[in-house]
């Protein structure tokens, strides 16, 4: 049973306010003893012409308020707040049985049924290394996709590959001049980066050399746009080889896409966009280029066609959003792209709006900050400051393995090399993922190995370790034949430590919805971190297997089970796996 929902319904009936509005206003009191839910009466003051404390005092006597609770709730007021306190035993039983029956799908809902949500994320540039910055969009976008899917939306995962633009003319020229076929097969991205850098170095040699190279590059890009066979074949090869490399990383991280339509896909649709903007009288000439002026919106003009007639990034995005709407009639179209591109998206959405497409309001730019390394010597970065994601993941899993091995040795060496490797991959990748997601997405991350791998800190290793510890208790219960028993026993979980765990488990469902609404997976990470901390406090203070009272033992084991399911569910929403033993 969803108590918050029932309270919102009852309050809505008593006050005439909209239920959703009430739901948004209901708070969780800062102290457990104050109750489970609180409703602030300020909103009613205007219509009722009374002071909020007076309203609260009168409202609390309304019998409609406790309808449907079968005596499981008491209502009280404190100043302007009405506090609802659910009977601890009943709450415990409700929450634990719900989780045990839903298992690791706890937190799912069907609020998104029948709605298409496009989530565009990752979108790396072909022929360039996949670096730690792309990891942010990849991890954040994957988590948001998981969360929306769990809420019942039909999620379509888009990877808007950066696979088009004048730089491909340069690459074709460079490849013909200096490309090394063997290197290309061994490590295509390194080789493509090498010749791209060489192109720019050679341009610096003399103005003549520069002119010759640039002319050739422009010519090659034009041929590519016109569909010349040889140029298209080369470009396609660069694209395929790069994608193969990216896909290895995606596979390692357990990330999938439904759609890889990159920028190139939309290039043929741009003339139609230009025509549409022209017919609506939105396109203006400016220094030979074509732009949409956005003065009224307080934005600089959006460049659609360059003075040399070639199209650019923004035009491809306009074509893309029209295509997405046509194909998927989206409820939301979400772009998980770094904050530096905020202006670009504002412009694209504003152009849509000006052109009369109201679905511009359903387009959302979900921006994020930067990853900064506290210790910049952690990597030797030859080419600029780029840290490749694969190197970062390798280094993390290596460091994780050292810790896992040491812990295993302390226990007398209870893990094989293979087990250590397997566990370190899950825990290491989890640690990286968690680091990206654990704070608000717009904040920069100051990355530090020790923080990230602290088994006692606010980290994935801590959460996965808590999960594994619970699984070991549950295995022991099985082995000693004390598992099973009635779920009704959960009504015994009313001691303070137990109640704290129950309360945080109950709040998990709301955290999931809030994470989706604000595009902030940290609302989930924060909640499961709280659950784990509450659980560990309970675990340190109470016996679980060695209690004489069968019913108490059963109740505590059920609580363990519920916590494990909820942690697994939350971690999975973030894109983090678990291990059964570590």
What span, in angstroms and rounded, lies between the C-alpha atoms of 502 and 570? Answer: 15
Distances, alpha carbon 131 to alpha carbons 122, 445, 521, in Å: 11, 15, 22
Q: H or E segment at 354?
A: helix 342-354
Give least dist CB 119 to ligand ARG, A: 12
Give least dist CB 97 to ligand ARG, A: 44
Residue closer to ligand ARG (CB basis): 191 or 317: 317
Give least dist CB 317 to ligand ARG, A: 5
The answer to whether the beta carbons of residues 153 and 330 sit under 8 Å apart is: no
What span, in angstroms and rounded, lies between the C-alpha atoms of 23 and 37? Answer: 11
Residues 330-369 that bind ligand ARG (CB under 6 A): 335, 337
Residue closer to ligand ARG (CB basis): 91 or 337: 337
User: CA triplet 199, 202, 203: central angle to 5 degrees?
Assistant: 85
Residue closer to ligand ARG (CB basis): 317 or 425: 317
- Among 36, 231, 317, 507, the residue binding ligand ARG under the rule CB under 6 A is 317
Under rule CB under 6 A, residue 162 binds ligand ARG: yes
- Among 160, 239, 509, 568, the residue binding ligand ARG under the rule CB under 6 A is 160
Which distant-in-sequence residues (6+ apart) come within 8 Å of 392 by Cβ? 132, 135, 379, 432
Give least dist CB 237 to ligand ARG, A: 20
The answer to whether the beta carbons of residues 35 and 29 sit under 8 Å apart is: yes
Residue closer to ligand ARG (CB basis): 163 or 507: 163
Give least dist CB 160 to ligand ARG, A: 4
What span, in angstroms and rounded, lies between the C-alpha atoms of 426 and 137? Answer: 20
Residue closer to ligand ARG (CB basis): 112 or 367: 367
Give least dist CB 381 to ligand ARG, A: 18
Under rule CB under 6 A, residue 225 binds ligand ARG: no
What span, in angstroms and rounded, lies between the C-alpha atoms of 431 and 459? Answer: 6
DSSP state, residue 544: S
Residues 97-156 that bind ligand ARG (CB under 6 A): 120, 123-125
Q: Residue 3 has which token pair?
A: 């108590």
Give least dist CB 347 to ligand ARG, A: 11
Under rule CB under 6 A, residue 388 binds ligand ARG: no
Q: Residue 285 has which token pair?
A: 């000439």
* Counts of helices then strands in the chain (DSSP H, E): 22, 12
How many of the chain's residues bind ligand ARG (CB under 6 A)? 9
What span, in angstroms and rounded, lies between the C-alpha atoms of 431 and 451? Answer: 10
Residue closer to ligand ARG (CB basis): 163 or 231: 163
Q: Tell me which residues touch ligand ARG (CB under 6 A).
A: 120, 123-125, 160, 162, 317, 335, 337
């Amino acid at each position: 049973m969803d108590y918050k929902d029932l309270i919102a319904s009852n309050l809505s009936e008593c006050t005439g306010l909209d239920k959703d509005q009430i739901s948004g206003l209901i708070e969780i009191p800062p102290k457990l003893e104050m109750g489970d839910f609180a409703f602030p009466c300020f909103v009613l003051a205007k219509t009722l012409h009374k002071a909020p404390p007076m309203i609260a005092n009168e409202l609390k006597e309304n019998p409609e308020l406790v309808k449907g609770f079968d005596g499981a709730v008491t209502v009280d007021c404190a100043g302007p707040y009405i506090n609802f306190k659910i009977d601890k035993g009943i709450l415990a039983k409700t929450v634990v049985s719900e989780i045990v029956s839903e298992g690791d799908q706890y937190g799912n809902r069907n609020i998104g049924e029948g709605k298409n949500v496009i989530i565009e994320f990752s979108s790396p540039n072909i022929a360039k290394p996949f670096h730690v910055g792309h990891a942010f969009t990849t991890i954040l976008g994957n988590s948001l996709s998981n969360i929306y899917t769990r809420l019942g939306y039909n999620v379509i995962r888009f990877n808007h590959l950066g696979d088009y633009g004048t730089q491909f003319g340069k690459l074709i020229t460079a490849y013909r001049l200096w490309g090394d076929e063997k290197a290309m097969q061994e490590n295509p991205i390194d080789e493509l980066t090498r010749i791209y850098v060489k192109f720019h170095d050679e341009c610096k040699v003399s103005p003549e050399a520069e002119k010759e190279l640039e002319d050739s590059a422009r010519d090659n890009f034009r041929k590519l746009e016109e569909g010349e066979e040889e140029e298209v074949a080369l470009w396609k090869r660069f694209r395929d080889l790069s994608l193969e490399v990216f896909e290895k990383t995606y596979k390692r991280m357990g990330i999938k896409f439904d759609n890889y339509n990159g920028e190139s896909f939309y290039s043929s649709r741009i003339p139609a966009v230009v025509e549409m903007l022209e017919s609506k009288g939105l396109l203006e000439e400016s220094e030979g280029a074509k732009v949409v002026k956005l003065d009224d919106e307080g934005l600089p003009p959006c460049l659609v066609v360059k003075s040399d007639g070639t199209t650019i990034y923004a035009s491809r995005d306009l074509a893309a959003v029209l295509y997405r709407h046509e194909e998927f009639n989206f409820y939301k179209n979400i772009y998980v792209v770094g904050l530096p591109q905020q202006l670009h998206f504002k412009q694209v959405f504003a152009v849509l709006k000006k052109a009369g497409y109201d679905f511009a309001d359903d387009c959302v730019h979900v921006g994020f900050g930067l990853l900064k390394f506290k210790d910049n010597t952690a990597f030797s970065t030859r080419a600029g400051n780029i840290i490749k994601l694969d190197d970062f993941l390798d280094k993390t899993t290596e460091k994780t393995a050292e810790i896992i091995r040491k812990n295993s040795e302390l226990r007398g060496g209870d893990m094989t090399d293979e087990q250590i490797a397997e566990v370190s991959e899950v825990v290491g990748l989890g640690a990286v993922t968690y680091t990206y997601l654990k704070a608000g997405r717009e904040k920069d991350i100051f990355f530090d190995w020790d923080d990230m791998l602290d088994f006692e800190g606010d980290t994935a290793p801590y959460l996965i370790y808590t999960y594994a510890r619970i699984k070991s208790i549950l295995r022991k219960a099985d082995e000693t034949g004390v598992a099973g028993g009635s779920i009704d026993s959960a009504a015994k979980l009313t001691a303070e430590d137990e109640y704290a765990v129950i309360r945080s488990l109950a709040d998990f469902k709301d955290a999931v919805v809030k994470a989706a609404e604000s595009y902030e997976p940290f609302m989930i990470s924060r909640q499961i971190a709280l659950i784990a901390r509450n659980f560990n406090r309970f675990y340190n203070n109470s016996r679980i297997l060695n209690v004489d009272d069968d019913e108490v033992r059963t109740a505590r084991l059920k609580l363990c089970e519920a916590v494990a399911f909820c942690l697994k569910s939350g971690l999975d929403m973030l894109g983090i796996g678990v291990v059964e033993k570590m």
